[in-house]
Structure 1
């Protein structure tokens, strides 16, 4: 799991899913971001999200021969509880994504 290189806080935010991206500043190869998690007590994380090409360069440099990107899937129970419409913003602009690598 990593930060989705295609996430944009200008499209939609994730507040209703338990976190709010407060800042996203562009960098030459990605972005710097600050996000508040709505826990008790709330806390903030600061992180870098790299471009897809940087992630792919890094896994290749690490010696992996294959890699795949995997979008997040919403469990059936969560869709039944909250409806598909509720999850649409999350799916359209998800902050996280899976990246698998193998030799």
Structure 2
């Protein structure tokens, strides 16, 4: 599930409309209408994309934050030495190495 990073899609679309002097359309969007407005559709797509990226980065950080990841008592060395940053590189490439694959 996407995490809204900037705010709601409606608020973002309304700001864009207001910046263009389209206050009547901004009011429609803020009151819950205007789902067919391109500004609303683009704002939703943008926030979903940012939210997905944010979630992948949080999962990768949580993985590296686990003390067990750095535990050198693991038989073949720590998970950190085995992983060598692959989870982070995958997250930065838009891939999820930690369980919610969609490709």
Same fold (TM over 0.5): no
Larger radius of gyration: 2
TM range (shorter): under 0.3
**Could you say which structure has the higher strand fraction?**
1
More helix by proportion, 1 or 2? 2
Q: Given the two structures, how large is their TM-score scaled by the length of structure 2? A: 0.24
TM-score, L = length of structure 1: 0.24
| Higher RCO by CA contacts (8 Å cutoff, separation 6 or greater) | 1
